[in-house]
Amino acid sequence: MRKVLQSFLLFLSAATDKELARMVEFLKEENRILRSRLPKAVAVTPQERNRLVRFVKQLGAKVRTLISVVSYRTFCRWLQRERQPAAPPANRGRRPTPEDVRALILKMAAENPTWGYGRILGELKKLGIRKVCKSTVKKLLQDNGYDPGPRRGPGSWADFIRRHAATLWACDFFSARTWTTRGVVEIYVFFFLHVGSRRVHLAGMTANPDGDWMKQQARNVAMHFAEQPIKPRMLIRDHDGKFTKEFDAILQSEGVEIKKVGPRAPNLSAHAERWVQSVRVECLDHFVVLGEAHLRHILTSYVTWYNTCRPHQSVNNEPLGERPQVDEPAVLSLADVHCEEKLGGLLKHYWRRAA
C-alpha cells in the first residue's frame, strides 16, 4: 500500500495543471457516486472532523465546491467552533429544589405522621408549588429518615406491634408432606406465636382442618392462654378460609380481639411467617417425614429446642428460656464444654459445666 501511495504522489508531481484539474474532477465525480450509495447523513468522528478542518485551512473558499460529507454551512460551524475557545459544559438536569420548599416538605412530614409523599405533594399544589415532582418529595423524605409511605411514626403498624407486643399473639398454618402407607399426605400444622417473647405454641396438626377441628383448637388455645402470666388481648391472623366464624367467636368470648391482616400482606404477620421459614430450613428440610406421628415428634422436639436453647437475634442473641447467668471463664477448657443433641444431631445445644 505504501508503494502504491508513493507512486501516486510521483505521478501527481509530474502531471500538468490541466491533468491535475481532470483528476480532481474525476475524484469529485467518483465521490458523488459513492455518496449516492450512502445514507443522507454521515456520522463523522471528532478525529475525522479535525482532519477535514486541517485540510480546509489550506484550501480556503475552494472547499465550497469540494465538500460533500456534510453541508457547507455545517463545515463553517466547524471552523467557527475551532476558532472560539471551548465553552464550559452546561449544567444538565433539573434545577435543585429551593431550600425553603425543602424545609416546608420536612415540616409537613414532621407535623403530619400519617401523610405519605402523595398527600404532601397535594398540599404543595394547594400552595401553588407545582414544579416539585413526587420522586423529589419521596427522596427528600427518605434522605431525612422519614418513611415516604403513609402512617409514619405513631399509628404505624410497626408502632402497633411494639405497643401491643406483650399481649399480642399471631397464628398461622403451614403444610408438610408426609409419606404413609396410603401414599403422600399433606398435613396442616397449626401454631401460635407470642410476638413479645417469640415463643411458639404448637397447637395441632391434621390432614383435614375442618370446622369441628378448628373449634376444638380454639378451645385448647383458650386454656393455654389462661395459663399465661400476661393475658392475650389481640390475635393476628390472615384471611385463610380455615379460620371459621366459630373459631373467632370462641376466642372473642375469652376477651381476645381478632386482628385480620390484609390479603397478600405477609409483612403484617412477619413474625409467624419468619418462624415458618425457620422450621423448614432448620428442621423439616432435613427429613423424609413418615406419617403424622413422625411429624409430631420432629416438630415437638424442634419447638422445645426453639423455645429454650436456640439463640435469637431479636432478643440480643439470647435463648428465649430463662437460663442462669454464666460468667466468662478466665481460662476456657474444652473438657468443660458439652453438647446436647436432638433429632439425630441436627439440633445442638452447647453448655458449660459450672466451676
pLDDT digits (tens, 9 = 90+) for 166-181: 999 999 999 999 999 8
> Cα separation of 330 and 328, whole Å?
7
Residues 169 and 297 in one domain: yes
Question: What tens digit of pLDDT does each residue of 196-226 get?
Answer: 999 999 999 999 999 999 999 999 999 999 9
The answer on pLDDT for 317 being more than 80 is: no
Show the cell assigned to 228: 399465661
**Residue 182: inside a domain, yes or no?**
yes
Per-residue pLDDT band at 238 (split at 50, 70, 90): very high
Q: Identity (one letter) of the amino acid at 12?
A: L
Residues 132 and 175 in one domain: no
Residue 161 φ/ψ, nearest 5 degrees: -60, -45
* CATH number for 273: 3.30.420.10
The answer on pLDDT for 235 being more than 90 is: yes
Per-residue pLDDT band at 162 (split at 50, 70, 90): confident
Q: Which of 300, 111, 271 is nearest to 198 (CA)?
A: 271
Q: Which of 180, 160, 179, 178 is nearest to 170 (CA)?
A: 160
**Residue 91: inside a domain, yes or no?**
no
> Cα separation of 328 and 8, whole Å?
93
Decide which of 83, 109, 124 is a domain's last residue.
Answer: 83
Q: Apex CA 221: angle with CA 311 and CA 212, to 5°?
A: 130
Residues 283 and 184 in one domain: yes
**Residue 2: inside a domain, yes or no?**
no
- Is residue 330 classed as helix, strand or coil in its secondary structure? coil
Per-residue pLDDT band at 134 (split at 50, 70, 90): confident
Residues 74 and 27 in one domain: yes
> Cα separation of 65 and 63, whole Å?
5
The pLDDT value given to residue 173: 96
Residues 38 and 110 in one domain: no
User: Who has greater pLDDT, 334 or 76?
Assistant: 334
Residues 143 and 284 in one domain: no
Q: How many C-beta atoms lie closer than 10 Å to residue 138's C-beta?
A: 18
The H or E element containing residue 339 is: strand 337-342
Residues 237 and 116 in one domain: no
Q: What is the DSSP letter of 90?
A: P
Q: Which of 285, 309, 310, 308 is nearest to 298 (CA)?
A: 285
Domain count, the chain: 4
Residues 117 and 150 in one domain: yes
User: Who has greater pLDDT, 237 or 126?
Assistant: 237
The pLDDT value given to residue 63: 66
The answer on pLDDT for 48 being more than 90 is: no
> Cα separation of 234 and 176, whole Å?
28
The pLDDT value given to residue 256: 95
Per-residue pLDDT band at 16 (split at 50, 70, 90): low
Q: Identity (one letter) of the amino acid at 89?
A: P
How much is the average pLDDT of 85-108? 75
Q: Which of 351, 167, 168 is nearest to 261 (CA)?
A: 168
What integer best gives the mean pLDDT of the chain?
82
Residue 4 φ/ψ, nearest 5 degrees: -60, -45
Q: Which of 72, 79, 31 is nearest to 54 (CA)?
A: 79
> Cα separation of 319 and 262, whole Å?
32
Decide which of 53, 83, 113 is a domain's last residue.
Answer: 83
**Residue 11: inside a domain, yes or no?**
no
The pLDDT value given to residue 206: 96
The pLDDT value given to residue 187: 96
Residues 230 and 298 in one domain: yes
Reported residue count of the chain is 355
The answer on pLDDT for 56 being more than 70 is: no
The pLDDT value given to residue 144: 84
**Residue 1: inside a domain, yes or no?**
no
The pLDDT value given to residue 89: 58
The answer on pLDDT for 67 being more than 80 is: no
Show the cell assigned to 204: 395441632
Lowest mean pLDDT across 60-64, 89-93, 287-291? 89-93
How much is the average pLDDT of 248-264? 91
The span from the first CA to the last CA of the chain, in angstroms, equals: 93
User: Who has greater pLDDT, 166 or 39?
Assistant: 166
Q: What is the DSSP letter of 190?
A: E
- Is residue 318 classed as helix, strand or coil in its secondary structure? strand
For residue 71, give every residue at least 6 positions away whose Cβ sits within 8 Å of its Cβ, in sequence order, or none: none
Q: Which of 317, 323, 334 is nearest to 352 (CA)?
A: 334
Question: Are 295 and 176 contacting, i.e. CB atoms less than 8 angstroms apart?
Answer: yes
Residues 77 and 36 in one domain: yes
The answer on pLDDT for 324 being more than 90 is: no
Q: How many C-beta atoms lie closer than 10 Å to residue 112's C-beta?
A: 15
List 335's β-bridge partners, or say none.
none
Residues 201 and 77 in one domain: no
Question: Are 146 and 109 contacting, i.e. CB atoms less than 8 angstroms apart?
Answer: yes
For residue 200, give every residue at least 6 positions away whose Cβ sits within 8 Å of its Cβ, in sequence order, or none: 191, 192, 193, 194, 275, 303, 306, 307
The H or E element containing residue 140 is: helix 134-143
User: Who has greater pLDDT, 324 or 244?
Assistant: 244
Domain residues for 299? 164-315
**Residue 297: inside a domain, yes or no?**
yes
Q: What is the DSSP letter of 333?
A: -
- Global pTM reads 0.57
Residues 222 and 296 in one domain: yes
**Residue 143: inside a domain, yes or no?**
yes
**Residue 25: inside a domain, yes or no?**
yes
